[in-house]
């Protein structure tokens, strides 16, 4: 009888250990909700700052989203744009001439979008799915005639030479939040933003952030882009 009781206790102990081990394994494998942000860049492509920006992204092993102006795309700058795409970055539409599109007719709006889309397809081979309005100026006529998701983003006034790299980095750190889209610029001469990213990217990584493209951000957060809406933080907009 005593031996039988000891046998039962041994069986219970083995079952309990196995259950606890399985539970521990499941807890280890359980997905952790990660903080995500997207870097996005306006006004390229070019063979100067865009190249420096891509070098910085490569240095830190991250990707970004590039909103290109059609008139800036030529055989030389297209090589840089294709490099961005091959790195895993996405190429999106930022109009052809960077006009204030609220002042344009429906046909002019369509022309601004189509000419840039055609150039992206020509050199990269993919259709853009997102659009950032120049000057973040938009109206219902634009919503009605542009069949792309509208993106704004949170900026740090990095188009102003008076804003130093240190100040840009501080502003980016202060506004960091899960789901945020940063609105930055890779226009010629904007090396201060390149320098700021050399500080911001590793620091945000330490804080648990992961850098993704804008399309990846929507997919990772399981959010379907809506029409007649513009996004800066996809979790709060």
Full pLDDT tens readout for the chain, 237 residues: 555 444 444 544 444 545 444 443 443 333 457 999 999 999 999 999 999 999 999 999 999 999 999 999 999 999 999 999 999 999 999 999 999 999 999 999 999 999 999 999 999 999 999 999 999 999 999 999 999 999 999 999 999 999 999 999 999 999 999 999 999 999 999 999 999 999 999 999 999 999 999 999 999 999 999 999 999 999 999
Query: How far is it, in rounded angstroms, from Cα 88 to Cα 134?
Result: 24
Residue 42 falls in the annotated catalytic set: yes
Query: How far is it, in rounded angstroms, from Cα 215 to Cα 128?
Result: 10
| CATH architecture, range 35-231 | Alpha-Beta Barrel (3.20)
Q: Tell if the pTM clears 0.85, that is, is over it.
A: yes
The number of angstroms, rounded, from the C-alpha of 107 to the middle of its chain's C-alpha atoms is: 30
Choose, from 144, 185, 198, 237, the residue flagged as catalytic: 185
Task: List b or e across 149-184, with b for residues whose CB sees 16 or more CB atoms inside 10 angstroms.
Answer: bbbbbbbbebeeeebebebbbebbeeebebbbbbbb
Residue 185 falls in the annotated catalytic set: yes
Choose, from 42, 90, 178, 186, the residue flagged as catalytic: 42
Give the pair of three-digit tokens for residue 123: 């050199």
């Amino acid at each position: 009888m005593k031996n039988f009781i000891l046998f039962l206790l041994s069986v219970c102990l083995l079952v309990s250990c196995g259950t606890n081990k399985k539970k521990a394994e499941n807890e280890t494998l359980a997905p952790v909700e990660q903080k995500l942000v997207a870097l996005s860049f306006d006004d390229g492509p070019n063979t100067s700052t865009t190249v420096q920006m891509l070098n910085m992204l490569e240095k830190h092993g991250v990707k970004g989203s590039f909103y290109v102006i059609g008139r800036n795309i030529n055989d030389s700058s297209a090589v840089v744009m294709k490099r961005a795409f091959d790195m895993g970055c996405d190429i999106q539409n930022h109009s052809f001439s960077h006009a204030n599109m609220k002042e344009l007719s429906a046909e002019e709006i369509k022309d601004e979008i189509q000419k840039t889309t055609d150039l992206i397809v020509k050199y990269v081979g993919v259709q853009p799915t997102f659009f950032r309005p120049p000057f973040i100026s938009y109206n219902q006529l634009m919503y009605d005639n542009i069949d792309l998701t509208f993106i704004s983003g949170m900026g740090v006034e990095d188009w102003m030479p008076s804003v130093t790299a240190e100040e840009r980095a501080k502003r980016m750190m202060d506004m960091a939040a899960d789901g945020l889209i940063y609105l930055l610029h890779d226009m010629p001469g904007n090396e201060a933003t390149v320098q700021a990213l050399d500080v911001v990217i590793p620091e945000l990584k330490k804080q648990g952030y992961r850098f993704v493209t804008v399309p990846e951000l929507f997919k990772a957060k399981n959010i379907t882009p809506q029409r007649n809406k513009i996004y800066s933080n996809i979790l709060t907009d």
